[in-house]
Homo-oligomer: A and B are copies of this chain.
């Protein structure tokens, strides 16, 4: 099992609000990829713009999950999942990008990059402004 995992939390923001930011086209465009289009309902196909296309597998307040259909070779067939729950005054997001065949160097890159986007999600929820592509923090020579 080779997975990318992350954890962030936001204070005083309801799980429903966090889940909508994660799951809706408008939300995704505010913290991950600015040009996201497609259908964000269960069974729908989301086109994230940067040649990444995924099917919406689950969309509940507690869990949002996509399966990648098109994108970088190493991403095809992988699952991207957000588990969302309340913990006192906080709402916690557990992120997982699972199903990588091997822990290749590109996976190291994607792990750091997902961390950057998790911070962008947190910033979007807390301030109303995230840093989606192409306004994301550059981490290395692969962007």
Protomer copies: 2
> Which residue of the partner chain, among B2, B87, B118, B141, contacts A112 with CB atoms under 8 Å?
B118
Within 8 A of B (CB), among A31-62: none
Report whether B108 and A140 are in contact in the complex, using a CB–CB cutoff of 8 Å.
no
Which residue of B is nearest A122, CB measured? B139
Number of interface residues of A (CB under 8 A): 34
> Which residue of the partner chain, among B9, B105, B137, contacts A119 with CB atoms under 8 Å?
B137
**Which A residues are closer than 8 A to B by beta carbons?**
1-9, 11, 87-88, 90, 92, 94-96, 103, 105, 107-109, 111-112, 115-116, 118-119, 122, 137, 139-142
Complex Cα spacing A109 to B90, Å: 14
